[in-house]
């Protein structure tokens, strides 16, 4: 149904809302990230007014294919590729201003326009070069116990935020205050860096780089909490773009092999200031199999599947280019994801990745030493010891990339999808059979 709702304005910006209704929707990853969130966000943005990033930073890499052009978004919401949509970087995101300026410039070169359509929270915390250096030093010093971070400084930046030593976007907008804050923070961090064997930073150089970035970002910086509140009051439809995935969540993930933010649905409210009673729906995105990049347990990891995908040129990280570890779909994990996120609908991506496999396995439980369990153990040592209990499905052995309707999918693919929906205790609403917009089936 088409609806025309009142114009909403915020400061100098305004927009008319004329489009089919879509409820306020949180979209999160139901596995270990890289589920194909960017592609699904891009498809859904067509029906939304505003797309908001609520957590993470440029550790994220969301791939969107529009025609023949491939875009990889790190900090800018994936909705930015649809003109006339508003994009918000919420307060829960940690922003590396130098990276953000580069990302904006890079997207501009690809034809994306940024005019009255990008809003950056003034209370978002900033990532500094000392965060990146500390991230790297800490990873190096951990040796085989490393987390396998993206080395973008995400952990140290969220650490400073929690320790109340962070510097926010609003601080960067105030030149005098910022210089003083930065000087103090660089002094403390240089001591830390030197203790870890790294070279210290010059606060003058960092300040100059950050001021240059601040000049370019200033027009976009605003109070996004009030902006989103006004948008809600005017019935604008908001799409919350999660980064990372449920099992990288600081509370609910496979700690300590996680990122440092709330990647689960709850993070959408704290990371944007939109209240929980404004949320209508949660979509969980999952691959038709499992991937993970970085260290940490992954019960269904399977070397032959990794080879299968890597030989096809698939499953290399969008941010770091690292080969992703691949394994069969783990419904113990996806069921847990349904529980902690309140997933109403699932989007299954990369179904086409399984097209050529004669037998497809799905993990339905774990064997932990002599016990069978059907939940995710919290102790990392236990998760590492879990051996998957598989149910096998016959493959469909035919290409799905041209399927556009449920009825066009091979029978065995439909059986597989029905089974994984049931095992994940949720309902499949979207199926993706290729990276392009059109390669999407909606039920």
- Binding residues for Mg ion, per CB under 5 A? 34, 61, 318
User: Quick one: which of 8, 40, 17, 15 has its CA closest to 27?
Assistant: 40
For residues 233 and 229, give the distance between their C-alpha atoms in angstroms, rounded to a whole number.
6
Strands 25-29 and 13-20: unpaired
Q: Which does 154 bind (CB under 5 to 8 A by kind): ligand GDP, ligand IMO, Mg ion, none?
A: ligand IMO
Establish if 33 lies at the interface with ligand IMO (CB under 6 A): yes
Residues with catalytic roles: 34, 62
Long-range contacts of 95-98 (CB under 8 A, 24+ apart): 95/57, 95/120, 95/124, 95/125, 95/126, 95/127, 95/169, 96/57, 96/58, 96/126, 96/127, 96/132, 96/152, 96/153, 97/126, 97/169, 97/172, 97/210, 97/213, 97/214, 97/217, 98/209, 98/210, 98/213
Q: Min. distance of Cβ 36 from ligand GDP in angstroms?
A: 3
Least distance from C-beta 324 to ligand IMO, angstroms? 8
Asked whether position 259 contacts ligand IMO by CB under 6 A, the answer is yes
Task: Give the nearer residue to Mg ion in terms of CB position, either 331 or 349.
Answer: 349
Binding segment toward ligand IMO, per CB under 6 A, in 122-130, 241-249, 280-288, 431-439: 241-249
Task: Give the one entry of Mg ion, ligand IMO, ligand GDP, none that residue 352 binds, where binding means its C-beta sits below a cut-off of 5 to 8 angstroms depending on kind.
Answer: ligand GDP
**Closer Cβ to ligand IMO, 61 or 271, answer by number:** 61
Give min distance, CB of 36 to ligand IMO, in A.
9
Interface with ligand IMO (CB under 6 A), residue from 79, 267, 273, 294: 294
Contact status: 152 vs ligand IMO (CB under 6 A): yes
Nearer to ligand GDP, 181 or 248 (CB): 248
Binding positions for ligand GDP, rule: CB under 6 A: 29, 33-39, 61-63, 65, 318, 349-350, 352, 432-435
Strand partners, 365: 389
What is the binding site for ligand IMO (CB under 6 A)?
Answer: 29, 33-34, 59-62, 147-150, 152, 154-155, 243-245, 248, 259-260, 293-294, 318
């Amino acid at each position: 149904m088409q609806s025309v709702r009142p114009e909403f304005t915020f400061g100098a910006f305004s927009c008319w809302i004329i489009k089919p209704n879509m409820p306020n929707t949180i979209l999160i990853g139901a596995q270990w990230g890289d589920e194909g969130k960017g592609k699904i966000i891009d498809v859904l943005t067509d029906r939304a007014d505003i797309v908001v990033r609520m957590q993470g930073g440029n550790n994220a890499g969301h791939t969107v294919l529009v025609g023949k052009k491939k875009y990889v978004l790190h900090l800018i919401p994936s909705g930015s590729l649809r003109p006339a949509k508003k994009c918000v970087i919420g307060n829960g995101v940690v922003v590396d201003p130098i990276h953000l300026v580069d990302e904006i410039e890079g997207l501009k070169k690809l034809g994306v326009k940024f005019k009255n359509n990008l809003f950056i929270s003034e209370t978002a915390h900033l990532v500094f070069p000392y965060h990146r250096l500390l991230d790297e030093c800490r990873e190096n010093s951990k040796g085989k116990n490393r987390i396998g971070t993206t080395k973008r400084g995400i952990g140290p930046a969220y650490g400073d935020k929690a320790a109340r030593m962070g510097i926010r976007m609003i601080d960067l907008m105030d030149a005098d205050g910022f210089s003083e804050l930065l000087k103090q923070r660089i002094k403390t961090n240089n001591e830390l860096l030197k203790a870890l064997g790294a070279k210290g930073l010059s606060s003058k150089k960092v300040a100059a780089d950050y001021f240059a970035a601040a000049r370019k970002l200033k027009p976009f910086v605003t109070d996004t909490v009030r902006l989103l509140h006004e948008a809600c009051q005017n019935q604008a439809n908001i799409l919350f773009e999660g980064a990372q995935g449920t099992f990288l969540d600081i509370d609910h993930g496979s700690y300590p092999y996680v990122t440092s933010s709330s990647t689960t649905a709850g993070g959408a409210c704290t990371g944007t200031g939109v209240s929980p009673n404004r949320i209508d729906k949660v979509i969980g995105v999952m691959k038709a199999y499992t991937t993970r990049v970085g260290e940490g347990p992954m019960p269904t990891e399977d070397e032959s599947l990794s080879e299968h995908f890597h030989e096809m040129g698939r499953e290399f990280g969008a941010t770091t280019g690292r080969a992703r570890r691949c394994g069969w779909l783990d419904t113990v994990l996806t069921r847990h994801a349904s529980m902690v996120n309140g997933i109403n609908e699932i989007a299954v991506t990369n179904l086409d990745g399984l097209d050529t496999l004669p037998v497809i396995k799905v993990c339905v439980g774990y064997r932990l030493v002599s016990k069978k369990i059907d939940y995710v153990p919290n102790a990392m040592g236990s998760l590492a010891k879990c051996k998957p209990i598989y149910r096998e499905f016959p493959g469909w052995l035919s290409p799905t990339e041209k399927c556009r309707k449920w009825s066009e999918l091979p029978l065995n693919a439909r059986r597989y999808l029905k089974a994984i929906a049931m095992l994940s205790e949720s309902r499949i609403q979207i199926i993706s059979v290729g990276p392009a917009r059109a390669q999407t089936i909606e039920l």
